[in-house]
Every structure is written in structure tokens, then in C-alpha cells.
Structure 1
Amino acid sequence: MATPPLSSSFLSFFLLIISTLVLILSSSSSNKLGFAFARREKIESNPLHHHTHTLQVSSLLPSTTCGPSSKGPKRKSSLKVVHKYGPCSHLHEDKAKTPTHAEILQHDEARVKSIHSRLSKMLAGSGGDDLRDVEASADIPAKTGSTIGSGNYVVTVGLGTPKKDLTLVFDTGSDVTWTQCEPCTQTCYKQKEPIFNPSASNTYTNVTCSSNSCSQLNSATAPGCSDSTCLYGIQYGDQSFSVGFLAQETLTLTPTDVFDNFLFGCGENNKGLFAGSAGLLGLARNPLSFVQQSAPKYGHYFSYCLPSTSSSTGHLTFGKGSDGASNVLNFTPLSKSFSGTSFYGLDITGISVAGRRLAIAASVFSTSGSIIDSGTVITRLPPAAYSPLRTAFREAMKEYPLTDAYEILDTCYDLTSFDDVTFPVISFSFSGGIDVELDEVGVYYAEKISQVCLAFAGNSEASDVAIFGNVQQRRLEVVYDLAGGRVGFGPASCT
């Protein structure tokens, strides 16, 4: 069924509403393998050489060629994950449009501010931000990218009949899955694959305004109608947006994992920092997210391993079983503090540096609360948690010369005179009595060898939610078991 074009008057009115709401919201916002292991009864208070990672300085920057993952079992319901701007991604060909590290961190900050605003409204009982994106498993290869105001990872799925392959950013902080669609009534940004044409598919149908599916948009964004057809509108924290029709279509993850009547956004007016990708795969907790729509097959269960660098690959896997996630997993319960939101909340109970537990009061994390997010690059911590982490890290790194801060990163080192560098091991403690030791690549963010930084930042306010970002998740197996109400961490499943 062909899609009736959106009227320019409606789009102008809709975007005017979005812009106005954004202004209102803005003014109201204030060891080689990292793994989880059972907490020791006693944490060693000693020497640093038992709790460090030593790396060649030359290895801190990614390769210019793709090095596919050589680790991890074969997974039936899995997609390959790659860094959007790395050599493993076909979106990488236009290097002129690759953002700088500074731009990635600036976009990341915009995303974090948007998350803080959304959560403050949700937790205050206002039903959430009217402009937040709607969210929507099989194992899908994932790639890293910098879009939606942050550094994200991308996977390739099939849409329509006959199937058209589309590369989408996957995001645990987003609800609705959407892609750009013809005709672009006002504007579409440039993407690598051809824009999806619903008129060329035998299985495309629009969703009516009277359907239950359309009413579910209320929890994600302000819906609208055009000739009785349901419309969606998504505004992201960096002012990117997508506006179009809510529709149903056949979605193909793998040759054996095909979903009929999958609800998605068919965007005819799209703009922003999506840089070559065709749209977004929403993995949050909203009823429209892919996780919820695929629950009959996958049981609200998915996992991923984010590649260690932009020149390697990882995976995004849906479902549980012998071909699923690692058997060596330790789980922490999902935080009840965020049960009414789209986000995955975790209860952080402490942080250790080089085997020593930092003196952080329990109230520091209980005041802010914490979430895990695949789309946020740099982990954000409450000021009273970040300060002792920075102090301990600087003490462990005192033989290396400090250099200028880089954007939001204030602890950076010039390593040009060194062949090797030794980082202290950093681990997070979560409720349920587990410690998660970050992989060596989850400790630093390297813009260049002369500016290698601690990959953490402090929030402005003690009440701002802490966010466990994707740099810290690199190379870990991260498992979301929604039916069990928990998130698990396991040994690195990609290299």
C-alpha cells in the first residue's frame, strides 16, 4: 500500500510544536579480558602491579583496516556490530563526513542532557518527555557509529518484500525503530543505501489513528493523524528529528528470523547527525520497541558485545540458548527506580581502582540512580563519585605527564615518549554482590597518542542520573534478561 505524502502544512505545524516543546524542555532541564566475577570477601589493598593493564602505546589508536572478531560462538539469531565510522563499516567510505572526536563528545553531551531531562520528567510523574524517541531478538552484528548525538553502533537488517537491506543504529535508550522513506516530502539526509520505498514492497501497510498501536505512541512522542493514518514525530537531544507514518512491514534479521507486521516509523521528513545510516533500531522497554515486539520469539532476552575499537567487530544477539550468550555470567537486578521508564536501570554500589575500593558513600549512587545505555559514549558519574575516581586514577598514573583536558575529559596524558603504558584496573560493583572489571579498552579514550584520557566524566548535579556508557562496555558480553528482571555481564565475547 502506497503511503500518502505528508502535507507541508502539517509538517510545518508539527515541527513548530516540536521546536516549542524543545525550548520549554531546555529551560526546565537542569587483564586482557574484562569480566564479572563473584565479589571477594576481602578486596586486596595492595600492590598496583596485581591490578593493572599494560599496553603498547601504539595499540591505543584503532587500525586503519578491519580486523573481524575472532572470538565468540556461532549465533543463530545474531547480527554483526561495527563502529559506524570505522573501516569495518561500509558507511565509512565518505571520510569527509566522519565527525572528529571533539564532535562525538559534544554530541554525547547533548544526548546526556536529553536523557537527564527525560528522566527528571518521567520520575516526577509527568509521563516523560513528549519528544523522546519511541522504542521498539536473533543475533545481529553490531558496528560503532556516531549519531543521535552520540557515538553508537550499527547493524544491518532487511525490511520489506522483497527485502531491502538497511543499516540502522541500535540504541537501548530509544523506543521506536524507524527508517527514512520515499517520498521525502520536505527533506531526507543522505544515507548509504537507497531510501526505503514502501510502494515497492508487497507487505507494507499504514497504521490507522484508531488502532491500539497508534495510541502507544503517547508514551513516546506526540502522535498525529493524516487522512486517518497514524503519524509519529521524534525529536532527539541534539535537535535531530524524524517525522512520518507509523506502519507495519516485514522485518528480516537473519534468513531464519523474519517478523511479519513489525511496527516501525516510515520517516518522510528527517534531519540530523545520522551520517549515512538509514535510521534506528530501538531496543528500549517501550511496547513499540523491537525487544517487546519480538518477545514471543526471543522472550525479552538479548545480548551484545561492543567491539574494542572502531576497526573490529562485535555482535548483537537475540534470544537465549546454547547458541546465545556466554555461560559465564553474573547478573545484577534491574533497578526498580526506573521501572516506569524506557531505560534500563542498574544499582551501582561502589567503584574500585587498582583493587582498592573508593571511599564513596552509598547515598551518592542512591541519590542519582544509574542506567546502562548503549548510545552514551562516556560514563557519567555523580560529582562525589567522579572526584575520588579521578584522584585514584591520577595517583596510579603519576609517572605519566598530564596534558590539556579534551572536551568533557579532564584527565589526559601525553604518551608520545613511552613505548608502553600501564593503566590501573577499574571495576564497578553492582547490587547482587557482583563486581564487573572493565576491559582494558574500557578505561581510556584516545584522541591521539599525545592526548589519552580517562574515559569518565562527572555530572553537573548530584541528582543527575549516572550513565554506564558504551566505552566502559567494550568487549564485555552484556546480557539483558527482561523476563528475569536483570542485566548480566560475562567474559569478553569479541576482540
Structure 2
Amino acid sequence: MATTTPFFLITLLFSFSFLTSVTFSRTTPTTTTSPLDVTSALVRVTQILDILNGHSDFQPFAQETIQQSSLDSSSFSFSFPLHSRELLNKTQHKDYKSLLQARLDRDLTRVNSLVTKLQRALKKEEVKSADNQVLTQGGKLSAPLVSGESQGSGEYFTRIGVGSPAEQFYMVIDTGSDVNWIQCEPCVDCYDQSDPIFDPSSSSSYESVSCESRQCDQLEVSACSRDRCLYEVTYGDGSFTVGTLMTETLSFGKSGYVEKVAMGCGHDNEGLFTAAAGLLGLGGGSLSLPEQLKATSFSYCLVDRDSNKSGTLELNSPVPSDSVTTTLSKSSKTNTFYYIGLTGFAVGGHPVQIAESTFELDKSGNGGIIVDCGTAVSRLEIEAYYALRDAFRSQTGNLKSTRPYALFDTCYDLSGLSTVKVPTVSFIFYGGKYFDLPAENYLIPVDSDGTFCFAFAPTNSSPQIIGNVQQQGMRVTFDLSNERVGFASYKC
């Protein structure tokens, strides 16, 4: 014992020192100003328009070799690429303003959808007896015929294999959803997608889920037909997917495959995620992909939406050692959303005068701020937004202001400039920890001429949201086992 005790103590002290450096680092901002590369941003604007308008033969993913080995759910880890939605759904746009307006329209719908979902959770008992109850006689599911073409939940997608033998499909990822699903034959009504629609009869690993199963019981809305569990997922704009709950084998490229993943086999799907085949739910609910795979963590790195490069989605990956971390929690009313311990912002190294309680989640399930990969522009409580915006404006008197655009009320004419220095915007997390955002994560182009706008927006609804514009180019890690979230710069 005498020979091992000193080594144990040294190891323990080293471990504590390392964890302390990771968890409590950066209690001051690293910079007060950040460079904005105007030229590079406008080059990306041109490139994305060329791709969308068919002036480039860029293809996001080629067919990938599937690794024929099963992943052990207790120890597996894997990574697969992510792209922004425009590279899959190549809708032509006459100019960048047209593209941006389409994004902002989707974004508003997305935010409304999350707000609606939260309000439903807060009034769950009322919803069960309300008019949007979808169970009908005979154990069938029906849904309102409302167009969902404006639904904006699918901002990033990946490519995975479904079934045995595996067929590869483009799938949207979504931290604001729990149920995984894919469009299935026979289709009652399916929207257009890039790949052939999945045919469960061609897969030897397809199994329908019984009505008495744990997975069926975990659905928010379900019914039973011939001992098959039927499901429906509806979204805030009236879009929906309806079908049979199944278990299938999912293949993750060169990482291997996982068997018996519960997901919806959607036979009637209205307006969602045009071009993609379905959705991978990364939320905190029991049917989400991380929860089903018993993942201890997952992380992603979201590339600039104007970039033709890819980021990655990783499961069971460690928190990068240089991450700034804070608390990760869920509401008592819904497990889906990931609430984080944010206390405020700094601009140019100076804390903005915002009450810490502004971002707290109360016991009733209201308030708080979530991290969401499907929302683009971060939404802040009105007074918090004004305080942040005014602090930024006060330190940009050297820049030429120009008229507002859409939901952005703070814009600048940077035409003719190659690089400018702007005040650094930083998150402040519990414990006074700072995380500095790169300038391109809060000052974004809105046209091809050099107009850039401050990319935050006000909201009078819960929840507040950290969107993907503020997350782009960084590794965001959801450490589920330790209830922490980490932010690390330039980890794509």
C-alpha cells in the first residue's frame, strides 16, 4: 500500500488539476476585438449561389462504403459528415438576398414550431383532449391537410444507411426533435426526396413495433392496428409524419452499424424537409438517437451555411480539452430541449448589463435558453437583446451604418473593405466563464454588395435560443452523462 498511495495521490491531483483547467478556464475574454474577413465572406456568397444555380457540379456526398461490423452500444464511437441544407435542396435564387430571405422565413417557422412544442408540453393534459387529438376510430391516425412547405427544421443533414442490406439516405439532424423517421413505401402521400423512398419489404432487418412495447408507450401520440404501433409527429406549422413504428438497422459509414433502432416508417408525410428522406432526432427524449444508443455524449461541428465543406456529427466523443463548459439541463415538462447555463454576454470585453435571471429556467418550465441546431438566428428576451445590441452599436461608431434588413435592425455597409475589426461578442456562462465568438458568427452578409448585419433577434416567447449561426465553426459537445455542454473553437 505504501508504494501505491503516492502514485494514486499524484494521479488524483493531476486529474483534478486537469478538470479544473477545462471547466473553469477563460474567466476573462481572450480578445476585445475580432477580425471580420469581409472578402472571404463575399466569396462564399458567390460560391453558394453558383452551386444552387447549377453553375457548379459540386455533390455533397458520394456513396460511402458501409462497414459490416456491429457497434457495441456500451463502447462504440463514430463520426459522420454534415452539410447545410442548401447543398441537398438546390433551389435556385436570383441573388443572395433571395436566398437569405428563404432562410429567414424558414427560421421564423422553426422558432414558432419550438415555441408551440414547448407550450404543448406545458399544457399537456389540455392537448390530450383538444381538437388536435389525432386518434380516430379503428385505431388509425389522421392528420390535418396543412401545407408544410415552409417548415424550417432541416438546416443540416447527413447520410446514413437504413435496413439490411443497407440503402443510403440523406437525413436531417435535429436537436429539437426526438422521434427518428424516414419516408416509407407504400406511400399514401410523400414529398419529393433525392433518394428512392425506403421500402421496408426489401430489408431483412425490418420489424414493426407492437402496441404493447415500451417504444410505443414512449410516443406522444400513438394508436394500435393489428398489434402494430402507429405514430404521428406534428410540427408547429401543421406539417406532420404519420406511419408505423419500426425497428431497423442503421449504418454509419465506416464506423459500423447498430441494430434495432426504433424509428417511424412514414407513409403520410406532409411538406417536411424537402429532398431529405427523413430525420434523426438528437433531442433529449427517450426515442432520440443518442438516448436509444445509450450514448454518453454527442457533438457536432456546423460549417458556415454558405460553405461547400462539411462538418461532422460524433457520438460518444470526448469533450475537447480546450472547451469552455457549462451546465446542461432539461425542463421538468419536456425532455427534448437542451437548456444551458448562460448568465449573459460581453461586448469588447465588457459585460453587458443583463440580469442573470433572464436566462434561468423556472420550475413551471418557462424561461431558460436552449442550444438548437435547427434555428439559425439566436433569439433573446427583448430587453436582453436591446442591451446586447446597444453595447455592440456603441463600439462600432467607426463603421458605416446602413438601413435595417428583415429582422436585423443593426446593419453596416462594409463594401470596398477587405477586413475590419469589430468588438468581440462573448457568451458568459456560470462561474463567469467567457467564450469568445468569431466575428463571422454574429456579423453576417445579407447581400453580395457588402451589407453585413448583427445576427441576433428579439423574442417575447420561451424558450430563448442559441442558433446555428452563433454555433458555426465550433465543436459543440453535449456531455450527457455529466450534464455539461462544451464549446470549443475551430474543431470542424
Shorter-chain TM-score: which interval? 0.7 to 0.9
1:77 aligns with 2:78: yes
Partner of 1:210: 212
Q: Flag the 1:415–1:96 CA change in 2: closer, same or farther, 3 A.
A: closer
SS in structure 1 at match of 2:460: coil
The correspondence of residues 319-330 of structure 1 with structure 2, limited to 5 A, is 319-320=316-317, 324-330=318-324
Partner of 1:159: 162
State how far apart, in whole Å, the 1-side matches of 2:127 and 2:286 are: 15
Partner of 1:251: 250
- Contact residue 117 and residue 236 of structure 2 kept, 8 A: no
The one-character-per-residue Cα deviations of 1:133-185 (angstroms, maximum 9, x if unpaired) are: xxxxxxxxxxxxx9842461101000001100011110111101111111111
1:347 aligns with 2:341: yes
1:421 aligns with 2:417: no
Q: Flag the 1:101–1:59 CA change in 2: closer, same or farther, 3 A.
A: closer
**Structure of greater Rg:** 2
**5+ residue gaps, structure 2:** 1-21, 49-55, 61-75, 134-148, 362-366
- TM-superposed deviation, 1:242: 0.9
- Contact residue 178 and residue 264 of structure 1 kept, 8 A: yes
The counterpart of 1:473, out of the listed 471, 485, 490, is: 471
1:308 aligns with 2:290: no
SS in structure 2 at match of 1:334: strand
Residue type of the partner of 1:181? C
Residue type of the partner of 2:486? G
- TM-superposed deviation, 1:392: 1.6
- TM-superposed deviation, 1:361: 1.5
The correspondence of residues 3-82 of structure 1 with structure 2, limited to 5 A, is 38=24, 50-60=32-42, 62=44, 63-64=47-48, 77-82=78-83
State how far apart, in whole Å, the 2-side matches of 1:451 and 1:306 are: 23
- TM-superposed deviation, 1:60: 4.0
Partner of 1:4: none
The one-character-per-residue Cα deviations of 1:18-54 (angstroms, maximum 9, x if unpaired) are: xxxxxxxxxxxxxxxxxx984656669xxxx842223
SS in structure 2 at match of 1:217: coil
Residue type of the partner of 1:382? E
State how far apart, in whole Å, the 2-side matches of 1:123 and 1:357 are: 33
State how far apart, in whole Å, the 1-side matches of 2:410 and 2:331 are: 31
Q: How many residues align?
A: 420
State how far apart, in whole Å, the 1-side matches of 2:306 and 2:166 are: 28
Q: Flag the 1:472–1:43 CA change in 2: closer, same or farther, 3 A.
A: closer
Residue type of the partner of 1:207? V
1:366 aligns with 2:360: yes
State how far apart, in whole Å, the 1-side matches of 2:91 and 2:197 are: 18
State how far apart, in whole Å, the 2-side matches of 1:342 and 1:171 are: 10
State how far apart, in whole Å, the 1-side matches of 2:182 and 2:356 are: 43
- Contact residue 347 and residue 388 of structure 2 kept, 8 A: yes
1:267 aligns with 2:269: no
State how far apart, in whole Å, the 1-side matches of 2:439 and 2:397 are: 18
State how far apart, in whole Å, the 2-side matches of 1:156 and 1:366 are: 36
1:181 aligns with 2:184: yes
Residue type of the partner of 2:347? V
- Contact residue 476 and residue 489 of structure 1 kept, 8 A: yes
Could you tell me the TM-score, scaled by structure 1's length? 0.78
SS in structure 2 at match of 1:194: coil
State how far apart, in whole Å, the 2-side matches of 1:414 and 1:247 are: 53
The one-character-per-residue Cα deviations of 1:216-274 (angstroms, maximum 9, x if unpaired) are: 103xxx11223331111111123221111100111111344311111000111112141
- Contact residue 109 and residue 151 of structure 2 kept, 8 A: no
- TM-superposed deviation, 1:111: 1.7
State how far apart, in whole Å, the 2-side matches of 1:488 and 1:182 are: 40
1:406 aligns with 2:402: no
State how far apart, in whole Å, the 2-side matches of 1:211 and 1:329 are: 40
The correspondence of residues 103-114 of structure 1 with structure 2, limited to 5 A, is 103-114=102-113
State how far apart, in whole Å, the 1-side matches of 2:468 and 2:125 are: 29
The one-character-per-residue Cα deviations of 1:373-400 (angstroms, maximum 9, x if unpaired) are: 1111110001111001111222222233
The one-character-per-residue Cα deviations of 1:1-29 (angstroms, maximum 9, x if unpaired) are: xxxxxxxxxxxxxxxxxxxxxxxxxxxxx
Return 148-157 or 204-213, whichever deviates more. Answer: 148-157
State how far apart, in whole Å, the 2-side matches of 1:289 and 1:271 are: 21
RMSD: 2.9
The one-character-per-residue Cα deviations of 1:162-219 (angstroms, maximum 9, x if unpaired) are: 100011110111101111111111x11110011101111111111122222111103x
